[in-house]
Amino acid sequence: MSATHPPIPREGPPQADRVLFFDTTLRDGEQSPGCVMYGPEKLRMAHQIAALGVDILEAGFAIASEGDSESIRTIAREVGSAPRSPVIASLARAKREDIEAAARSIEPAARGRIHTFLSTSDLHLAAKLNITREQALDQIGAMVALACTYADDVEFSPEDATRTDPYFLVRVCEVAIQAGATTLNLPDTVGYCIPQGYGDMFRMVRERVPGIENIVLSAHCHDDLGLAVANTIAAIQAGVRQVECAINGIGERAGNAALEEIAAILVTRRDQLPYEHHIDMKQLYPTSQMLAECISFGTAPNKAIVGKNAFAHAAGIHQHGVMANPLTYEIMTPESVGVPSNSLVLGKHSGRRALEHRLVELGHALTHAQLDAVYRRFIELADRKKTIYDQDFIGLLKPERSATATA
């Protein structure tokens, strides 16, 4: 199973009006506690993610383990070997052994990418790597150049870019481009940024880095402050044309930007974001459900787009409006993202119209007076019981049916 979108051009950036989707569910997403997937599960998810229409599928971190390396290689062979399949990416630290492992893992792919990274913030350089800025620049240049000997598609990420000194970040970008990087990803590794600041960072590098017009700029946002998707949208508005994201927003700590939310925003707010992409919107919900089966938890009920309550209506005013015209309270149809239908949740906030609608569905049409009586009993029950089932509705009808039979 593979996506049916056209391949990414081998040279130059994407079209100005197109956003590439880089899915990291199987790499960064799997690093989230409770999200570990075994080989067959990763392969199953990879097929589905390809069917979803992503442009780049980051299949794992090859040096992490033999199992991860083999899993990437299997995905490259079985999902990424067709000409129209996604690019298969493998992550590597800016180290020779990592890059060589990544190169081996993507060999079977029709189009492979090595994604290499090195921390660039002063905090990370001192506390984690114990190297100077100049040593970092030397390592970036050498390792990006090495990666380019194995792949003509090389992405470089300055880890903790959003806390990196802006002048040094410009130099880092220059060195990576000179060494041959075709994509530059500036990640908000710790979810520190707010949208204005993240967008401004990309505007700054676009203005100051020579040759950046010939590479793809990418955003990778974490959700520590709940701003991953907002920051990603700000990056697109600032000229970014690749977004790195994960199904259901899974990932390190609070997670990554949620793929389904970014895609839905681009479709729903095309008036403000007139960009094309190749995500098959009707595959969003099935993909979310499959991921929930593969890992140890599903989405929160109030999760946007794919959560249980995303198209559920409980308030009487909302239910009345949705029954008259779904557009009154739904900015997209559930079917457009693969959800079978919306739902009217009957409880103490529901109105007569919603109750009548459900009773008719159950085969019980009532007169106005009968409905009033049943509605009063329904509200009394809803004040005592959180979940009301179909058998409860039938039970509420008994006095009315008895009265009808007596008459």
| pTM for the whole structure | 0.85
pLDDT of residue 307: 85
DSSP string, 129-155: I---HHHHHHHHHHHHHHHHHH-S-EE
User: In the chain, what's the furthest Cα-to-Cα distance?
Assistant: 94
User: Which pair of structure tokens corresponds to residue 252?
Assistant: 């390190």
**Per-residue pLDDT reduced to its tens digit, 41-69:** 999 999 999 999 999 999 999 999 999 99
* pLDDT value at residue 181: 98
Question: What pLDDT score does 13 carry?
Answer: 54
CATH 3.20.20.70: does it fit domain 20-294? yes
DSSP letter at 7?
Answer: P
Report the distance separating Cα 368 and Cα 37, nearest Å: 55
Regions of the chain with pLDDT less than 50: 1-12, 403, 405-407
| CA-based nearest residue to 252, from 91, 66, 75, 46 | 91
How far is Cα 149 from Cα 50, in angstroms, rounded to an integer? Answer: 27
**pLDDT tens profile 114-147:** 999 999 999 999 999 999 999 999 999 999 999 9
Query: For the segment 302-328, what is each residue's pLDDT rounded down to a tens digit?
Result: 899 988 877 766 666 677 666 677 677
Instruction: Report the distance separating Cα 93 and Cα 272, nearest Å.
Output: 37
Bridge partners, residue 116, by sequence: 92, 156
Distance CA 46, CA 50 (A): 6
In the chain, where the domains are located:
20-294, 312-406
The C-alpha atoms of residue 219 and residue 158 are separated, in whole angstroms, by 11
